[in-house]
């Protein structure tokens, strides 16, 4: 048991308390999951593997690597299919201090529509599939801003942001890579945080984090040279899906 939790720390890339972490997960999550299929949304797949769950991963099983529309759609299609896992475990943890929910992209929308939380334990949430259909998105806002101008958002909405690369930016991608972009997220109460922002993922869309009220793209002067001045955005509000019928 002790050795397993130490391995968990190594696999997750961060310190995990050694006192009973696995016991708490097994005692509650495993009792609910049983032998049903489960996936892990985020970067902590070790939770499912080391607990011996019936792990049923998405095609791009670590969503932070699904950085193109094609890969994002692969994962979204996986959650739409009949073979989608019955449960999903999520913690909200990601790599590189990325914007919350950005990695899950379009798959995050399907999870939000079709899964509901049944358990929270040790910083993880267990979601159960409760719907088998997509629901319509209603456009609530669209427009354009320039870097440094806030986009007014609301937690739970679906946001698509398009940053077109400039000629210099396209050249930088060919030679090496585009410089990293950051965004400032403001939540209710005036709380703000600066997060890594991945334009290729934002173009596909993502669920706006809870209690968010504005999102401001804040590239450095060097980063501004790699993107066109205008940033396009479209915000939609998911409807309520029909309950699952098994």
- For 94-152, the pLDDT digits (tens) are 888 999 999 998 999 999 989 999 998 888 899 999 887 777 788 999 999 988 889 99
Q: What angle do CA 160, 175, 201 make, to 5 degrees?
A: 15
Q: How many residues are listed for the chain in this entry?
A: 246
Q: How many CB atoms lie within 10 A of CB 215?
A: 24
Supply 178's token pair.
């585009």
Residue 5, SS3? helix
In this predicted structure, what is the pLDDT of residue 17? Answer: 53
Q: How many CB atoms lie within 10 A of CB 84?
A: 20
Whether 204 contacts 107, CB under 8 Å: no
Question: What are the tens digits of pLDDT across the range 216-238?
Answer: 998 777 777 777 777 889 999 88
End-to-end CA, the chain: 37
Q: Residue 68: pLDDT above 90?
A: no
């Amino acid at each position: 048991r002790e050795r397993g939790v130490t391995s968990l720390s190594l696999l997750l890339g961060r310190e995990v308390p050694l006192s009973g972490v696995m016991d708490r997960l097994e005692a509650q999550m495993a009792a609910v999951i049983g032998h049903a299929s489960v996936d892990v949304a985020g970067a902590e797949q070790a939770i499912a593997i080391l607990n011996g769950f019936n792990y049923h991963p998405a095609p791009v099983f670590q969503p932070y690597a699904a950085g193109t529309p094609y890969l994002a759609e692969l994962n979204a299609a996986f959650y739409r299919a009949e073979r989608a896992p019955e449960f999903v475990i999520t913690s909200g943890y990601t790599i590189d201090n990325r914007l919350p929910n950005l990695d899950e992209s379009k798959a995050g929308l399907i999870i939000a529509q079709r899964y509901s939380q049944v358990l929270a334990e040790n910083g993880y949430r267990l979601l159960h599939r409760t719907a088998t259909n997509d629901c319509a998105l209603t456009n609530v806002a669209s427009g354009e801003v320039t870097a440094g101008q806030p986009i007014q958002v609301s937690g739970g909405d679906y946001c698509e942001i398009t940053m077109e690369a400039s000629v210099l930016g396209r050249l930088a991608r060919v030679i090496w890579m585009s410089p990293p972009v950051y965004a400032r997220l403001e939540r209710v109460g005036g709380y703000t945080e600066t997060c890594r922002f991945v334009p290729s993922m934002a173009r596909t869309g993502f669920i706006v984090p809870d209690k968010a009220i504005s999102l401001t793209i804040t590239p450095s002067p060097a980063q501004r040279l790699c993107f066109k001045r205008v940033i396009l955005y479209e915000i939609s509000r998911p409807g309520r899906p029909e309950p699952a019928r098994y």
